[in-house]
Amino acid sequence: MSAVQNVGVVGAGAAGLATAILLAEAGADVVVYETKPTLGALGSGITLQGNALRALDRLGVWDQVRARSFSFDVLGIRAPGPEAPLVAEMPDNKMGGPDYPATAGMFRPDLAEIMLARAQALGANVRFGARVTAVTHADDGVTLTISTDAGGEQVTHELVVGADGLNSAVREQIGITTRPEPNGMGIFRAFVKRPPEADHTELVFGGPSYIAGFCPTGEDTMYAYLVEDKQDRQGMTPEEGSKIMAELARPYGAHWNAVRAQLEQGVEHVHYTWFTSHVVAEPWNRGRVVVIGDAAHSCPPTVAQGAAQALEDAVVLGDVLGRYDALSDELWAEFHARRVPRATTVVEASNQIAAWLLARERGDVQGVHRTVSDLVSQEP
Ligand SMILES: Cc1cc2nc3c(=O)[nH]c(=O)nc-3n(C[C@H](O)[C@H](O)[C@H](O)COP(=O)(O)OP(=O)(O)OC[C@H]3O[C@@H](n4cnc5c(N)ncnc54)[C@H](O)[C@@H]3O)c2cc1C
């Protein structure tokens, strides 16, 4: 690694582990600080578009991802109602190019496990139960204050990558005030058994929920989701979540009949969260500290690109750090030129679709999808 030899990464999500993989592979000493005691990624599914798969290939984990995910190349749209007529079934764009499927669905903890194993195999030191509480620039590096069960400590790195998610402490510590804002929507996600015929994502727009959808994640698993006006559902147990979700799912037919039957019995993995949106205006770095992934941008998952963009942030960061000799203005200018407009377009497109849904307006959703697809089909 040319520009830096010693890097601290804050956060072991997709952005942080991808960064750790790429920098460790390039020969840097990498320490990842993760506040959680174990990996414990949220136990639901994720939709990985082709450009995310291309990035995962760059990380050297595509074969494992392919083996533990469910790939498909078609998207179905159904109308609400008990009959749930099929409105359209269209080929999904292969945004990663012809070598990858259009889409792969996956259980999030499986993806996290694969990425962690790869980072560790390449020599990255992933420290769980290590929360970063302060970030200060020193003469020749950045000092992190780390809080662990054993007490506090300070560690200095040449570069710090803040991949610490929506409520990023690193972002706050370096004085960036842009923060994720709720957009008014909330989503239920349940990890359920997949009926064999449900072999690609299907979406229902309309009915009492804004979106009712599902995505296959494996031979006999998938995740199903319902988007509603955001509610305060803090403290909801999986049993309560299953009940509410089953009730909300009542007006949806076809494969939702099987999902609802499982929800009525109670489902172990049911999660609820609000959608947010933000994008940090350039620059994402302050000196030797840079924020990436959800720390830098978030969006409603209406085009399923959040993690894809987080992975691309890491890929581009790894690329510029490998090609420049030092952390120069030119390095950061290239990083921002390749990342900020692209991530901003994705955030704005996602927001636009969400705004149409909230207003119950039709809008040119396909046109917006096309814009995103054309953009992210290109290498980042
Ligand atoms: C409902 C929903 C559905 C989504 N669906 C999709 C989808 O289908 N496809 C897609 O591509 N994207 C999707 N996304 C977006 C995607 O989940 C995120 O963009 C992605 O997970 C961001 O990864 P990250 O590594 O930046 O952040 P995170 O995954 O949040 O990781 C940040 C990590 O930092 C740790 N951390 C936080 N603070 C500290 C600290 N102070 N010290 C140490 N560690 C810290 C956290 O514990 C966490 O592990 C969805 C998002 C939502 C909300």
User: Rounded CA gap, 143 and 174, in Å?
Assistant: 12
First-last CA distance in the chain: 20
What separation in Å is there between the alpha carbon of 13 and the centre of ligand 1? 6
- For residues 30-43, average pLDDT: 88
User: Is 165's C-beta closer than 6 angstroms to any atom of ligand 1?
Assistant: yes
Phi-psi region of 233 (alpha: psi -120 to 50; beta: other; left: phi over 0): alpha
What separation in Å is there between the alpha carbon of 14 and the centre of ligand 1? 7
User: Is 336's C-beta closer than 6 angstroms to any atom of ligand 1?
Assistant: no
Range of the domain at 283: 6-43+108-180+276-377
User: Is 272's C-beta closer than 6 angstroms to any atom of ligand 1?
Assistant: no
Q: Is residue 163 part of a domain?
A: yes
Q: Is residue 359 part of a domain?
A: yes
- For residues 204-209, average pLDDT: 90
User: Is 347's C-beta closer than 6 angstroms to any atom of ligand 1?
Assistant: no
Asked whether 46 and 108 are in contact (CB, 8 A), the reply is yes
- Beta strand residue intervals within the chain, DSSP E: 6-10, 29-34, 45-49, 69-72, 74-78, 86-91, 103-107, 125-128, 131-138, 141-148, 151-157, 159-162, 181-193, 202-205, 211-218, 221-229, 270-279, 285-286, 289-291, 297-298
Choosing from 294, 312, 350 the residue with most ligand 1 atoms within 8 A of its CB, the one to mutate for a pocket test is 294
Q: Look at residue 56 in the predicted model and tell me its pLDDT.
A: 98
| Index of the ligand 1 atom closest to the CA of residue 293 | 26
Q: pLDDT averaged over the chain?
A: 96
Choosing from 31, 39, 46 the residue with most ligand 1 atoms within 8 A of its CB, the one to mutate for a pocket test is 46
Q: Look at residue 12 in the predicted model and tell me its pLDDT.
A: 98
User: Is 312's C-beta closer than 6 angstroms to any atom of ligand 1?
Assistant: no
Q: Look at residue 58 in the predicted model and tell me its pLDDT.
A: 98
pLDDT digits (tens, 9 = 90+) for 308-347: 999 999 999 999 999 999 999 999 999 999 999 999 999 9
Q: Is residue 343 part of a domain?
A: yes
User: Is 350's C-beta closer than 6 angstroms to any atom of ligand 1?
Assistant: no
| Index of the ligand 1 atom closest to the CA of residue 271 | 1
Q: Is residue 309 part of a domain?
A: yes
Q: Is residue 317 part of a domain?
A: yes
Helix (H, G, I), strand (E, B) or coil at 156: strand
User: Is 17's C-beta closer than 6 angstroms to any atom of ligand 1?
Assistant: no
User: Is 357's C-beta closer than 6 angstroms to any atom of ligand 1?
Assistant: no
User: Rounded CA gap, 158 and 251, in Å?
Assistant: 55
Q: Is residue 84 part of a domain?
A: no
User: Is 14's C-beta closer than 6 angstroms to any atom of ligand 1?
Assistant: yes
Pairing between β-strand 74-78 and β-strand 202-205 as defined by DSSP bridges: parallel
Question: What CATH number is attached to the domain comprising 14?
Answer: 3.50.50.60
User: Could you please report the per-residue DSSP string of 177-190?
Assistant: ----EEEEEEEEEE
Look at the chain and report how many structural domains it folds into. Answer: 1
User: Is 92's C-beta closer than 6 angstroms to any atom of ligand 1?
Assistant: no
User: Is 302's C-beta closer than 6 angstroms to any atom of ligand 1?
Assistant: no
Checking if the pLDDT of 41 tops 70, the result is no
Q: Is residue 267 part of a domain?
A: no
Confidence of residue 83 (pLDDT cuts 50, 70, 90): confident
- For residues 10-32, average pLDDT: 98
Q: For the chain, what percent of residues have pLDDT higher than 90?
A: 94
Token readout for 156 is: 């200095």
Checking if the pLDDT of 119 tops 90, the result is yes
Q: Look at residue 42 in the predicted model and tell me its pLDDT.
A: 67
pLDDT digits (tens, 9 = 90+) for 243-278: 999 999 999 999 999 999 999 999 999 999 999 999
Token readout for 204 is: 């229902």
What separation in Å is there between the alpha carbon of 41 and the centre of ligand 1? 9
Q: Look at residue 139 in the predicted model and tell me its pLDDT.
A: 80
Checking if the pLDDT of 87 tops 70, the result is yes
Q: Is residue 250 part of a domain?
A: no
